[in-house]
Amino acid sequence: MAPTLYHYWPVPITDESESMSSSQKLSWLEWLGILWIPVVMGLSVALIIFVVKTNSKACRDGLLVEQECHNVTSLLERQLTQTRQALQGTMDQATTCNKTVVTLSASLVKEKAWGQEQLTRGEKLQGEIETLKQQLQAALEEVKQLRSEPRPLTIPLSCPFVLPQDHPNPPPKTQASLCLGNPHCSGHKV
């Protein structure tokens, strides 16, 4: 067959609306629908790829590791809280112990001062005791000396002598013999 040549005469275009027929015109909604088809298709493919990857073994293992990490973190946080509480309790005990040490130190200082005062007082009393011992020794020496010296006999003058009349050996009738043994007699030196 022989080629046929079709020739169309150019039509001058003065207005688009006049040149195109109504069947050839696409509305803007149709254009929007045509553009959205590849976008929806692309998103669908991306969603399918995402679902496949999230259900993969590596993703599940990662989720398990993340859960285990969360559990370990929770455990460590609880242990840290317990350790902080124990530390606070220990610090409170240390504060109490420090206050007790300060109180005991003050008491010890007072007791040392009181002990030193008692020691000084004891030494003073010991000195007084030694002085009194010396005075006692001197008094004993004086008594011993006085006992060894002869002394005159004290005879009471106003004591009547009371002896029975029938005594076999009547004492001599001296003033000294009249007063011996009578506590009411007043003494008189002969």
Instruction: Summarize pLDDT for 98-146 with one digit per residue, the tens.
Output: 999 999 999 999 999 999 999 999 999 999 999 999 999 999 999 988 8
The percent of residues in the chain predicted with pLDDT above 70, rounded, is 65
> How many other CB atoms sit within 10 Å of the CB of residue 180?
13
Take residue 110 and report the two structure tokens written for it: 């007072």
Q: Please give the mean pLDDT across all residues of the chain.
A: 78
Q: Backbone phi, then psi, for 22, in 5-degree steps?
A: -70, -25
HSE, CB side, 13 Å, CA atoms: give it for residue 140: 6
Whole-angstrom distance, CA of residue 174 vs CA of residue 111 = 72
Q: Of the candidates 146, 182, 138, which has an alpha carbon nearest to the alpha carbon of residue 161?
A: 182
Q: What is the mean pLDDT of residues 69-77?
A: 95
**Binning pLDDT at 50, 70 and 90, where does residue 93 land?**
very high
Higher-confidence residue of 7 and 19: namely 7
Asked if the model's pLDDT at residue 69 lies above 50, the reply is: yes
Contact 186, 156 (CB under 8 A): yes
